[in-house]
Amino acid sequence: MQITLATLVIWALIGLIAGWLAGEIMKGSGFGLAGNIVVGIIGAILGGVLLGLLGIDPGGFVGEVVQALIGALVLLALLGAVRRR
C-alpha cells in the first residue's frame, strides 16, 4: 500500500473523529485534541486488528470510524487503568 498525502489526511480525519467520540464517551479519559487524534489513529490500528481477528470488515468511511472508535475506546480503557495505578 502506498501512503500518500490524501491517505494521511483521511487517517487523521478518522483519528480525529474516533478520538473525539471516544473522549466524549469515556469522560475524563481524553487527552486534548492532539492527544485524541493520536489515540484515534492508534485506535484505528488496534480496532483493525481486533475486528480482523474476529473476521469483521466494516468497510466504508463510517465503518472505518466505528472500527477506530472501538479501538480508541479499548485503548482509552487500557490507558485509564494504567494511569490509575
pLDDT tens, residue by residue, 64-81: 889 889 998 888 888 888
pLDDT value of residue 4 = 87
pLDDT at 47 over 80: yes
Distance CA(25)–CA(37), nearest Å, equals: 15
What number of H helices and E strands is found in the chain? 3, 0
Question: 12-45, pLDDT tens digit by residue?
Answer: 888 888 888 888 888 766 677 778 778 888 888 8
pLDDT value of residue 1 = 58
- 85: cell is 495505578
Distance CA(75)–CA(41), nearest Å, equals: 11
Give all strands (DSSP E) within 1-85, no chain letters: none
pTM (2 d.p.) = 0.80
- Model confidence at 84, pLDDT cuts 50, 70, 90, reads confident
Distance CA(32)–CA(77), nearest Å, equals: 16
